[in-house]
Structure 1
Amino acid sequence: MEHITLLLAIVVVTALVFDFTNGFHDTANAMATTISTGALKPKTAVAMSAALNLVGAFLSVEVAKTISGGIINESGIRTEVIFAALVGAILWNLLTWLLGLPSSSSHALFGGLIGAAVMSAGWSSVNGGTVVTKVLLPAVAAPVVAGLAAMLATRLTYRIGAGTDEKATAKGYRAGQIASAGLVSLAHGTNDAQKTMGVITLALVTGGVLAPGSNPPLWVIVSAGMAIALGTYLGGWRIIRTMGKGLTDLRPQQGFAAQTGAATVILASSHLGFSLSTTQSCSGAVMGAGLGRKGGVVRWSTATRMFVAWGLTLPAAGLVGAGAEFLTQQGTWGVAVVAVLLIAGSGAIWLASRRKPVDHNDVMNEATDEVATGRTPVAAGGPAVAAEPAGVVTTAIAAVSPPPTATALAVPLQRSEAPDLTASPIPAPVSAVAVSDPAPVATV
């Protein structure tokens, strides 16, 4: 009994660690657009989001019940399975955070649970119908619905304000953005904090502390809300940069439309008990808002990396969870090995992040982050402010056009662009040679 009690304590602590990573991993969902448009300063934004995440954790337990009694069958599941599932989810969260990719913490948790349960008790331990109806289908529908809603809202906003000065109305939209960002934060706390509540409740059920079908105890609700709020306050600055500047360039009108659309979808899903990915909803809304403005563009290179991460989340976390469960089946020493591997892996990822740290001071300095924006600095070692973002037309063409087929065309193009990139005039003799003597170019 002492071993079970100690193991349960380890699982509860690990679940709260996951909740913490969920908080800083998903801060971007609520505050990336608010920060990118200048509606709020970075530290103020994450503090507000943290407080509302905590409040949202007390609003509902429907999603928690979906996880604790819906994804996998409680009967026959050992407490070690929950521990192994959390290991897979935490490591995937940290890896995608390092890469600055807004992947789904929810799907990482589901993947870990499914992989560990299958390794422990076979495929019969997974409720396939629940996975399809309450996880996979919402995963596909949520970004599409949120994106369409944000795109239509953006177009409607610009149409209503067609006769007004955009700069004059921007202040009002920034104020609206603050309100909509608060709504997203509240929705995030309502949806995502419940996932940890559900996991802890499931662990307590498997350990014999609670009866199957029980609601999360009050101490579970409070601790889960505190953990996600603390993680949110620390801020996942890498992912905030990707969401705020890497996908598209947003104006206050678009930011307001994106956040309102995302919050509506998330709150509706929480009410229905769908364990929705807030990351996918908010990312879809940001892309929809980017396409909703005339002349706007989505950086599909960044979006493609994000889509790949979404597709890999369930299987990757599932494989790690299954491997961790295989080790825990070996006994106490296996549980200890998994715990050591979790700590070592987390430490290695954190050390790797220190090579190019990102904080609230440079979170929107896109010229220094090639991963988030897909862009390279103008000059190596030059100041970050020297980089000029590509124009809308140029970016759109670059995103959809194939590279030139003739090398002879590529070299003169690079020469002609050199003055713009270096911002320094070329002497007349050099220019004359480049224009009048194309022979050397053709031979390269």
Structure 2
Amino acid sequence: MLAAVSTAPSPSSPQATPPARDRGDACPGTLRLHAADDGALARIRVPGGVLAAHQAHALADAARRLGDGELHLTSRGNVQLRGLRDTCGEELARLLDAAGLLPSPEHERVRNVVASPLSGLDGQGAREVRSWLTALDAALCASEAARGLSGRFLFAFDDGRGDVASLGADVTVRATADDGALISLGSAREALRVAGDDAPRAALLAAEEFLQFARLAGERVWRIDELGPGSAELASAVRHRLAESGIGCVWDSTDATVTGGPLPGVIGSALCVHAPLGRLTAPQWQELADVAPGELRLTPWRVVVVPAPDMTVSDRSAALSRLAATGLVTDPSSPWLDVGACIGRPGCGKSRADVRADATRTLAAASGSPLPLYWSGCERRCGHPRGDRVDVVATPEGGYRLAGPDGDGPLRTTDLDDVSRLATALAAITS
């Protein structure tokens, strides 16, 4: 049955205060596999989500030969392989290294970079950010200090449209119309304005300066906002560090304009498709790799962008139809765009439910919600997105608790013990 709607204080931001940590950063990578209930898990960092076609084929090969045959997109545009054999670590590393996906074993977990996926493809944005992405990745892999960054530390390169600027990165670089860049740290409202050509080096110097502050904090601080009041001191120290390095900078305000990720369909000279719940079967991935003339761009919104500047309009339409035939979403009005979920059972031992099955079963009901839904198998809510949404969290009793925002006030919540009544529960907390 549905419980009466109740209100409860909104939980504080996960980065508002330094969390108590009794162990080091266990974030999985390519060389550090995570033991899950469905086998070992590898997380392959793909800076900016950019995959050359041969790299996409290599990942498909790894998934088929070593894992469960599927590829999973993360909220940072990276790829996870699941169901891996415990003894496959060396073989996986060799395969990915040969494909150019492991440029530095010491830095593979810190190459966390998101970038505007449509940059240079649709005529929007202030500049194309690919050169920034390439320069930062090379500098990051050459930096001894950067090895100390947490696997959770995130860089974002926004071409000025405001898409990845809204993702809560630790260092966000946003292009401006005057060929400059605004560099913001964590959730700070002030930014440092630098010349566009200096942006990648400035981003790395900011991250290296953060590491100095994290060491002085004497705690396991992995994200900039975890410094609390120290974030303001960090900003001043970064400005001084940039000046010492010959990078001119002045204080400015961040651009408040934000947009969402790309919708499915043909946008500019690109094809865009959405992978429901971030999961791609081997045939779907293979079709994507075959259609792509040069590369794929993975996004934090589980949308895959296929640049196709040399395709004719009819060729793009035909390619989109091929992708739709595999079950990928090509309709911008699909309810799948507003439904997400963690891995749930049986892959995660902490999950209390098969949340992906329940999310799929109730897709029609979810389409009536004015807010996106995110299904979680437990209170950790792994992979949950930023922004307003309805959280659907499995409870120890075998049902779910729904929680949604109520303006600036407390959360509105209700309990659900029968997923067939999801539409009623959603109406109770969103009306």
Return the TM-score normalized by structure 1: 0.25
Q: Computing the radius of gyration over CA atoms, which structure comes out larger, 1 or 2?
A: 1
Return the structure number with greater strand share: 2
Comparing both structures, which one devotes a greater share of its residues to helix?
1
Structure scoring higher RCO (CA < 8 A, sep ≥ 6) equals 1
